[in-house]
Amino acid sequence: MSARRPRLSMAARGRSGRALQRAGATPQIAGIVPEVPSMTFPTRRLLAAAMGAGMGVAPALAQPAQPVPGWPERPVRLVLPAAGGAGTADTLARIMAAELDKRLPQRSVVDNRPGANGNVGAGVAARSAADGYTFLWSWAGTLATNPAMYASLPFDPLRDFEPVILIGNVPNILIVTPDFPARSLEEFTRHVRAHPGQLSYGSSGIGSSMHMAAALYSQATGAEMTHVPYNGLSQAVADLFTGRIQLMFNLITGSAPQVREGRARAIAVLSDRRSPVLPDVPTTAELGMPGLEFGTWFGLLAPRGTPQPIIQAMNRLFNEILAEPESRARFEAQGLDVMGGPPERLTQHLTAELRRHAEIVRFANVRME
């Protein structure tokens, strides 16, 4: 099918799966689908020992959140490095702010600071006063992908921030057009390999979770696809419906309505557990690819030097909210796999994800100035 696609540089396209096969990047398992042990999503497996040591949600909820004398005396600001109404990130932040308002004597304000794939907002938060009134609500793309993709950043995700809590993860899902000839992940991989470079996948932009999830898939399988980045998600989805592109690795929240309506067909969720949003769709782990797990995880951070009693108070508040059945259900309805736990869990997760995303970015051969 012919398609009118945005102009794409060779650097943005990245190196082909075929070229990387020659470089020795295609270990095989399960006949057709190789595993990438070094790039397994660290949500549960790499953190299991830490959780066993008291880092899960339950230990953090052993006692209710204790007030910090004199705090807060004014509104608490959650800096969100994206535009208002810009999809899952904004929705989740506003759900959390509403829940905080029920528990704090002052309001919680979502401060949208879009620009440069989240770098502007993260920079604003990093330069804010460490007084317990500014926090950064951010995610994998800004905190883990951007440090590997950009030559310079106005923040350092480890040096400039104190960890508060790892909130949860929204997985990506592989969807195709309804008439796509493959119905399983194994059939899909065979089909893509048989038509190198001929199948196009859309994303909301270079370095987006959709782009990185597809790059991870190509690295794992050696299958070559053509990346078509759009200036936003809506046009990519529209082109999928018309067949101008054949597939996407979208966040599950954005694809669930189209899958339910039959306008797109789901192949697999890039996770190790099924999502309640689309419970009938198998996971990549079930289908023999435990290393192919990818999503947008969310975390709360504070400017370096924020008083620890305030960080601990916010950590306990967030854990209470994530564990409360009604609010938890609201988060899960947005596709969030709830995590929680102490601040140290976010530090370990972010450190592992910085390494993992650096590998994916190097594979995709993407650099931004």
Q: What's residue 369's pLDDT?
A: 79
Whole-structure pTM value: 0.84
In a domain, 80, yes or no: yes
Average pLDDT, the chain: 86
Count Cα neighbours of 29 within 13 Å in the Cβ-side half-sphere.
Answer: 12
Does pLDDT of 283 surpass 80? yes
Q: What's residue 17's pLDDT?
A: 39
The residue with greater pLDDT, 14 or 132, is 132
Domain containing 333 equals 48-63+72-170+295-364
In a domain, 158, yes or no: yes
- Asked whether the bond before 282 is cis by omega within 30 degrees of 0, the reply is no
171, 335 Cβ separation under 8 angstroms? yes
Q: What's residue 191's pLDDT?
A: 98
Give the C-alpha separation, 259 to 175, whole Å.
8
Write out pLDDT tens, residues 80-122.
999 998 789 999 999 999 999 999 999 999 999 999 999 999 9
Question: If pLDDT is split at 50, 70 and 90, which confidence band does 64 have?
Answer: low
In a domain, 99, yes or no: yes
- Orientation angle between helical segments 88-101 and 308-323, nearest 10 degrees: 100
Q: What per-residue string of b and e applies to 237-266 under the rule 16 or more CB within 10 Å gives b?
A: bebbeeebbbbbbbbbbbbbebbeeeebbb
Does pLDDT of 144 surpass 80? yes
Question: If pLDDT is split at 50, 70 and 90, which confidence band does 65 have?
Answer: low
In a domain, 267, yes or no: no
Question: 91: closest CA among 139, 56, 129?
Answer: 139
Q: What's residue 61's pLDDT?
A: 45
Write out pLDDT tens, residues 196-233.
999 999 999 999 999 999 999 999 999 999 999 999 88
Write out pLDDT tens, residues 236-249.
999 999 999 999 99
CATH code of the domain covering residue 155: 3.40.190.150
Question: 39: closest CA among 288, 364, 355?
Answer: 355
In a domain, 316, yes or no: yes
Q: What's residue 38's pLDDT?
A: 36
> 3-class DSSP state for residue 83?
coil
In a domain, 142, yes or no: yes
Q: What's residue 50's pLDDT?
A: 39
Give the C-alpha separation, 165 to 314, whole Å.
8
Q: Average pLDDT for residues 255-262, to the nearest whole number?
A: 96
In a domain, 32, yes or no: no
Does pLDDT of 8 surpass 80? no
Give the C-alpha separation, 17 to 320, whole Å.
45
* Angle, vertex CA 225, rays to CA 223 and CA 231, nearest 5: 145
Count how many domains the chain has.
Answer: 1
In a domain, 28, yes or no: no
Q: Average pLDDT for residues 246-257, to the nearest whole number?
A: 96
Phi-psi region of 132 (alpha: psi -120 to 50; beta: other; left: phi over 0): left
Q: Average pLDDT for residues 65-81, to the nearest whole number?
A: 90
Cα dihedral 187, 193, 196, 201, rounded to 10, equals 40
Does pLDDT of 342 surpass 90? yes
Q: How many helices (H) and strands (E) does the chain have?
A: 15, 10
336: which DSSP letter? -
Does pLDDT of 56 surpass 50? no
